[in-house]
Amino acid sequence: MKLAQVLFSQGFGSRRECEGLIIGGFVSIAGARADDPFEEFDPEGLQFNVRGESWPFRTQALIVLNKPAGHECSQKPKHHPSVYSLLSAPLRRRDVQAVGRLDEDTTGLLLLTDDGKLIHRWTSPKHHVPKVYEIGCKHPVTDEQVQQLLHGVTLIDDPVPVRAAAAESTGLFNGPQAAELGELHGLRMTLTEGKYHQVKRMVAAVGNRVEALHRSRYGALALPADLAPGQWRWITPTDVVA
């Protein structure tokens, strides 16, 4: 693949803009300047550098983002900044989309990709991809509430009971917002569906209230401990579904 085509496929601008980046000396490969936009490269496994930023060639983009609070999972946010503003420009040009949305006040693991098939597969209720949430509740979490969540609760405006795939009390909540929100009671819950505000509605259905919500795992992928809020990194589909 011609080098200009490589950059174009990765979201670095129009073909003419990519040619300009290369001719202008802003692209390097293996530490050496690459100044011929028509030089051929095998893109598989190719690592290149554009304006000082290292970039791996990816046929399809797939990243994990540690979503901070106060960000909307929308291209056109209404009240808060968009999570897309946290991404590098090439990813935004590639039109990566969130794999299921998190509320503006929810933190934690968010997947983004430009692969429509992955989005459909991982958000379809038919595939039962587990998502783990760390929940800060207003009131103590009782054994009775945990059992209700495991056996199923009925939500307002939804006659079909929904149940947690797993649920347990975790003592005091120690998620990202714990310090600013004060003492909250911890609940860990695993869901395999993705209904609107499902965690908050399920917790309300058993007589408690969600004050903080953090997604810690999606499928086989746990949120990396060294990924700070607002940061992202490349992953592969096998990281999510082992």
Six-digit token string for 238:
């096998």
CA dist 202 and 154 (Å) reads: 8
Whole-angstrom distance between the N-terminal and C-terminal Cα of the chain?
Answer: 31
Q: What is the CA radius of gyration of the chain?
A: 21
Which candidate in 35, 36, 95, 103 is catalytic?
103
Rounded to 5°, angle at Cα 212 from 211 and 217: 145
Are the C-beta atoms of residues 45 and 92 closer than 8 Å to each other? no
Distances in whole angstroms, Cα of residue 107 to Cα of each of 5, 46, 51 = 36, 33, 31
Please choose, from the candidates 118, 93, 88, 120, the residue with its C-alpha nearest in 3D space to the C-alpha of residue 234.
Answer: 88
CA dist 3 and 39 (Å) reads: 6
103 is a catalytic site residue = yes
CA dist 149 and 203 (Å) reads: 8
List active site positions. 103
